[in-house]
Amino acid sequence: MTPDKKTALLERIAAYPRQDLIHRPTPMRKLERMTAELGGPEIWIKRDDLTGMAFGGNKSRKLEFIMPDVLAKKADVLVTWASLQSNWAMQTAAACVRYGVQPVLVLFKTYDLPPEPDGNILLDRLLGAEIRFKEAGKGKLVTQAGALAAVEEVAAEYRAAGKNVYVIPVGGSVPAADMDRPLGAVAYVAAFAEMLEQTRAAGFTPDAVVHSTGSGSTQAGLLLGARVLSPATRVVGISVSDSKDAFTEIVREVVEATERELGTDPVKAPKDILVFDEYIRDGYGIVNKEVADIIRRVFRAEGIVLDPVYTSKAFIGLVDLIARGYFKRGERVVFFHTGGTPALFPNRAFLV
């Protein structure tokens, strides 16, 4: 990629309307003890769990780019959907209240946790979000196709009451409903650029970035950032919910939309969408002994708390991929900690 294309992308992103919701840059450091314990590549961590709004996480970064569109369209009610203990829903509610927009959260019961005011649901309640619980069936995912109709019904109620409603798809990922541009992914192109400045200041270019994939736009944004700004860096998504094939397709769709949005060169038949789905293990949101073990291990080695649904599974993947030789000694891997720690508390019974 020519310097011109890199500069053009960075200028394009810098020109976006952006609401200041987070602390930037988020910190990055080497995980000295985990690197030594695992005996493979140098492992670095990018602390997007410290974005600073509510309890932090990747969704606040996306909302910096999404909220300007919500405000430009003069919405007074924002409806979104997700699973019960959703970080996305909570951070969206936290962003809404700052601008006087009423958050309405449609939360699907995708696993066995009760809908009690604990973890993110406690925070949703404290924020004054309107919550509608819906059945999704155990193990069922909250996909666009499955949820949009139910969500539109809720939005219609508010429209009938004269409200100006903005509907955002789960995770701010696949453009749909009122978010008709891939603004969540644009935020993660910017995050890739932010990380690259930090790694370059530390004297290296990462061989890979590893992160959790749940709705697809973190991966899509990081991948587009890598393609333009650092093609040698692999972006490896660890799925927490859907199959490799399903996510490869979702990420491809969001990347293509982001290419059009940012005017970068389209890549036909991409081979660089790397998704691992074997770490879903017992299912989305199911906290088992392996999850509890990795949370304890990283906390005790590094003082960093992983969450039980996303980053724990991504770290399990990272450890296994090192053991399998996929990442090698001499390489440098940046692990994106994408937040989610409030979900530790409602899962306490499975963690100790």
Ligand X SMILES: Cc1ncc(COP(=O)(O)O)c(C=O)c1O
Shorter beta-carbon distance to ligand X: residue 40 or 340: 340
Both tokens assigned to 22 = 């987070």
Cβ 237 to ligand X shortest distance, Å: 7
Cβ 203 to ligand X shortest distance, Å: 28
Residue 214 binds ligand X, judged by CB under 6 A = yes
Which segment (22-30, 142-150, 225-233, 338-346) binds ligand X by CB under 6 A? 338-346
Cβ 263 to ligand X shortest distance, Å: 22
Of the listed 86, 173, 212, 230, which one is catalytic? Answer: 86
Residue 182 binds ligand X, judged by CB under 6 A = no
Tell the burial category of 79 from Cβ atoms under 10 Å away from its Cβ (0-12, 13-18, 19+): buried
Phi, psi of 79 (to 5 degrees): -110, 130
Both tokens assigned to 287 = 């906290």
Known catalytic residue at 83: no
Binding residue (CB under 6 A) for ligand X from 257, 307, 319, 347:
307
Residue 339 binds ligand X, judged by CB under 6 A = yes
Identify residues 30-59 at the interface with ligand X (CB under 6 A).
57-58
* Distances in whole angstroms, Cα of residue 186 to Cα of each of 64, 94, 222, 275: 10, 20, 9, 20
Which segment (101-109, 127-135, 157-165, 208-216) binds ligand X by CB under 6 A? 208-216
Name the strand (E) or helix (H) holding 88: helix 87-98
Distance CA(332)–CA(127), nearest Å, equals: 40
Which segment (73-81, 120-128, 210-218, 298-306) binds ligand X by CB under 6 A? 210-218
Distance CA(35)–CA(191), nearest Å, equals: 23
Residue 308 binds ligand X, judged by CB under 6 A = no
Residue 60 binds ligand X, judged by CB under 6 A = no
Cβ 89 to ligand X shortest distance, Å: 9
Shorter beta-carbon distance to ligand X: residue 92 or 218: 218
Cβ 339 to ligand X shortest distance, Å: 4
Residue type, 335: F
* Distances in whole angstroms, Cα of residue 99 to Cα of each of 68, 75, 88, 255: 10, 10, 17, 29
Q: Is 243 helix (H, G, I), strand (E, B) or coil?
A: coil
**What is the chain's Cα-based Rg?**
19
Residue 216 binds ligand X, judged by CB under 6 A = yes
Reduced to 3 DSSP states, what percent helix, strand and coil does the chain have, rounded to the nearest 5?
A: 45, 15, 35
Measure the CA angle with vertex 83, ends 50 and 102; round to 5°.
Answer: 75
Residue 212 binds ligand X, judged by CB under 6 A = yes
Residue type, 329: R
For β-strands 274-276 and 234-239, DSSP reports them as parallel
Distance CA(156)–CA(258), nearest Å, equals: 29
Residue 218 binds ligand X, judged by CB under 6 A = yes
Residue 121: closest CA among 130, 112, 319: 130
Cβ 210 to ligand X shortest distance, Å: 12
Shorter beta-carbon distance to ligand X: residue 8 or 50: 50
Q: How many residues bind ligand X (CB under 6 A)?
A: 19
Build a one-symbol-per-residue string for 85-124: x at contacts with ligand X by CB under 6 A, - elsewhere: --xx------------------------------------
Which segment (197-205, 206-214, 277-285, 294-302) binds ligand X by CB under 6 A? 206-214
Cβ 336 to ligand X shortest distance, Å: 8
The secondary structure of 7-50 as a DSSP string is HHHHHHHHTS-----S-SSPPEEE-HHHHHHHTSSEEEEEEGGG
Distance CA(101)–CA(127), nearest Å, equals: 12
Residue 310 binds ligand X, judged by CB under 6 A = yes
Identify residues 144-173 at the interface with ligand X (CB under 6 A).
171, 173
- By the criterion CB under 6 A, which residues form the site for ligand X? 57-58, 87-88, 171, 173, 212-219, 307, 310, 338-340
Q: Could you give the residue numbers annotated as active site?
A: 86
